[in-house]
Structure formats: structure tokens, C-alpha cells
Structure 1
């Protein structure tokens, strides 16, 4: 079921609720999915009350600080650059695709040569949703890029990145995993735990920024918080290049949030083509 609603300072929102999972997206800016959780349960996404309902005039330069995260889930285009921080604060086009599905499309961004949007599809009878991210090329893009999804999770939780079973030597002679580090990361950071069965990244309000990436062939990450497990599913595409030194999964955290991020393979869409990147969310009580 889809219905119009208000949420967290936003006057124009859509609520999708199948009785098992509830999502709320604003139609005023973004796209942004601002709420994800069970009906009657807590919001597993980060809310930023001081930014609620704010949409400033659009300017071209990111240092104007017009871009606001607003919490929730968004679509960016990788690799990261100034284009990520161009304000996305104009109303969206809304298309209803079915009783539990909607498409939200932002205005075209001619300066970058693309138009962003996403579709929300609730899975009937399950605590599960499919999010299809869309990037339409306004012209043939000059350099490869990737669709990059970022879910801002609320503080206080821990991300679990499952790992494949340990191999044996000398049977297993080739590598099967990678770990990409950003320049400000130390492997001695106490928030990181690189275990046999899973890697854990803990959100800590007393610590500064941390970010890791990996080519995650198991294709799902759990975030445990508020008595719930929020799982992001993103099956990898084998034998294709990915951005950021070859990763399809990134985890970022700072004193306020933890972000679960997925990336599509690198692509160069031609004028008029729409590239997509689909993920799924599921929730379960702990």
C-alpha cells in the first residue's frame, strides 16, 4: 500500500507498507528514502532533525554547503568528487508502478550529463524491499562511472560483513578477497574486527572517520542496531571492473553515523541509455 504522508519535518512524503516492512521517501528533494523499519518499529536509518524539511536554493559549487545529507538512503555516482555534493534539493517526478511500487526521478543534471532516480518495490508478504537505482545519460559520458548507493544507518550499531570459509594450504593457492583502505584508516582501529567468519565495523561516537572497501562476493551486509538486523543484499557481477580499486561494497563511519554502501560495475552509458543497479533490503528482529 502507498499513501501520502508527512515525516520528520517533510510535508510531502510517500509511505510504502506491506504489513512487514515500512519505507518512507520524501518527494521534495533527493531522491531520499528517509525511513526503513518494521511497521510500528524504530527507524533504522539516521534522522537529522536540524536538517528536516530544509531545501535551500541550488548552487553550483559544493563549498557553498548547499548539499545536505538529510539522513536515509541516497544514490550517488562514483568515483567520489565535487559532483557528489551538488545540491539535490528540487522536487521529484513521481510515477506509481503498482500497489506497492513507485518510481522517483530527480530533475536532470545537465552539468554532469545525467539524471538520477530510483524505484521502490515492496516484496508481497515479506519484510523485504527491492530498490532499483537508475542513471540516465543525457549525453554519452566521457569517463566510466558507477552507480553508488549509500544507506545512512543510525548510530550505535555494528556492521557485519560475512566472509567465505577459510581455505587450506597448499590446496588454495590463489587469493579470494581484498581489503581496500582509505588514507585516514588504521588497521589498529578498535572499531575494526577482522574475524574468520565475518568482519565487524562498530559505530562509535567517540571516534573519527573510518572507511573500508572490498569486493564482496557473498553480496550482503548486516547492520545490527535497536534490536533489529537490517540486511542489504547486492549480488556481485563477476569478471567486470569496479571503482575504488575494485570494490562493490564500502563501509563508512564517523561519530554520528555508519553508512552501508554498494557499487555497480564501472560503465559508460551512451546518450539516452539508462543504467540500473538493484539492491534488496530485509529486516528481522534480533
Structure 2
């Protein structure tokens, strides 16, 4: 059973709390749509909330806020960073709700997030962007979860294959101009890559993946957050990135993208994620990355 209630969350009035016996989410309606809180029932928030902008509404400047948001890709200062500072509409559904932003006057796009609590520890997030411009627009849906500090992202890699039997590549890493693989926050292991969040860091880091195992995770003392997503045989933005991870001194972002589409006037692009919230992973298990991979995949 899904419980739906209206609360004031950190100064944002009329926020919507969705919960079942295991999970709770809070979604702002004064701004957004933003899933600003995700936790075990009555537990600590796995998302970062920016204390400088918590509860603020209105204005024409983009604010980080924190939580989970929907953007358009590829990243562009004008098109992507439209400020989501105005009230949105909420419509309850049988197992969650739909949260729809106003049409953006400069991009002519409308963004929507639909939430469906699935079973005890999982939820399906459907992201939609509709083009209301009188012309087509090339874009992808870009789903970004801003995780709280002091955790580690787990980026699984494809299985190792025999050189004698497999001659072609299986994976592409996409690097940004500020990506420094010598940074100690990166840890390369057999079967996965770790990226640690460090509040003392002085520079951001980011990487993208062209493939993967259909999931990405963030391990924190408050829980293990797992995103599942589809990998389609289509063209993706950012040189083919299906998944991206970004971190700076404030937080770490887990990001997934839809394929690029030429969105005709009136058409909608849709992108799904399935979230799971598992128990925290012990520090000693984090020291054995292959066991971490096996444990997470046994829960999917």
C-alpha cells in the first residue's frame, strides 16, 4: 500500500511524501520537479540537499537544490540550465504520482517525473520531456541523482573475455576536460571502477560509459542506492554515454541518459530508471569489489 501525504519539507510547502512499509520519497511541488528525499522509512536522506537553497522558491537563476532532477542533454548553458523554480502540478496515481512542470518559455519543453512504488524496496521513475516548440529538437532525457557526501560510486564493467576469442572492444570511457584519472578518488578494480566522494576535494571529476551491466550504485553508511536502466542499441549523447558520474566537494551525481532523439513538435521522449535501496555495505566488503558486484547483482 502506498501512503500519500502533504508536508512542509525544509521550507518548501506542499511537498508530497510517498511511502510504503520500507521506503519514503519526498517530492517538491513549490519548485521542480525534484525528488528531494529518498530513504528507508523514517531514515536518513541518501540525497544531498543544498543548505544554501533549501526552501527557496521563485527567481530566474538556476539553483542546484539537490535531490533528483530531470535535464535535457547534451549539456548547454542556455537549454539545459533553465531554472526549475516555479510550482508544478501533482496528480496522484494508484501507486505513486505524476509531477509535471510548466512549459519552459525559452526551450518550449515540458518535463515530467512519474513515480511508482513497485515492491518493498524498489521504485520506478519515469522521466518524460515533451516538445511544444513548432519545430523538432534533438535531445536526450538526462536523469541526475545528487547523492550526499562521504560515499562511493560503484561503476560495474563488462565481464573479462578471452583475447583469443574476442578481438573487438566492449567498453568506452568518455572523459571531460577536467577528468584526471590520477586523482586518488578513482580506484580501478577487476570488474568495476570506484569513484569516492571527498568533501576536501579541490576539483571536480567526471566520467561516462558507453556500456555497462545496466546498473550503477552509490554506497553510503545510510544505505546502498542502486539505479537500473536500459541499454539500447542507439546513439547516445556525450560521445555515446549511457551512464555518467560526477563529483565535487559537495556531492556525487549518478546520471543516466536516454538515446538521442529528434523530437518532433508534440512528441515525448521517455526514460525509465528502477531504484533499489539496499542495506549499507560493510567497509570490509568494499575492499573486495568483485564481492560487492556479486552481492548487488544478487539483489536485482
The interval holding the TM-score normalised by the smaller chain is: over 0.9
Q: Partners of 1:141 and 1:80 in 2: how far apart?
A: 20
Aligned-residue CA RMSD in angstroms?
A: 1.2
Equivalent pairs, count: 276
For each residue in 1:39-64, what CA deviation from the matched residue of structure 2 results, as whole angstroms up to 9, or x when unmatched? 02110000122211112323xxxxxx
For each residue in 1:113-147, what CA deviation from the matched residue of structure 2 results, as whole angstroms up to 9, or x when unmatched? 211111011013x2111000011110355442100
**1:72 and 2:106 equivalent?**
no
Match of 1:260?
254
1:228 is aligned, of 196, 219, 223, to: 223
**1:95 and 2:97 equivalent?**
no
Equivalent residue of 2:262, what SS?
coil
What runs of 5+ residues in structure 2 fail to find an aligned partner? 281-300
Q: Partners of 2:41 and 2:137 in 1: how far apart?
A: 43
What runs of 5+ residues in structure 1 fail to find an aligned partner? 59-65
Q: Is the 8 A contact 1:218 1:235 kept in 2?
A: no
C-alpha spacing 1:141/1:224, structure 2 compared with 1 (3 Å): farther
Q: Partners of 1:141 and 1:88 in 2: how far apart?
A: 23
Q: Partners of 1:12 and 1:227 in 2: how far apart?
A: 26
User: Offset at 1:170?
Assistant: 1.6
**1:6 and 2:2 equivalent?**
no
Match of 1:174?
168
2:106 is aligned, of 104, 107, 111, to: 111
User: Offset at 1:187?
Assistant: 1.4
Match of 2:180?
186
For each residue in 1:88-121, what CA deviation from the matched residue of structure 2 results, as whole angstroms up to 9, or x when unmatched? 11110111122x2100110001321211111011
Match of 1:63?
none
Q: Is the 8 A contact 1:46 1:71 kept in 2?
A: yes
Q: TM-score w.r.t. structure 2 length? A: 0.89
User: Offset at 1:156?
Assistant: 0.3
Equivalent residue of 1:108, what SS?
coil
**1:52 and 2:54 equivalent?**
yes
**1:217 and 2:212 equivalent?**
yes
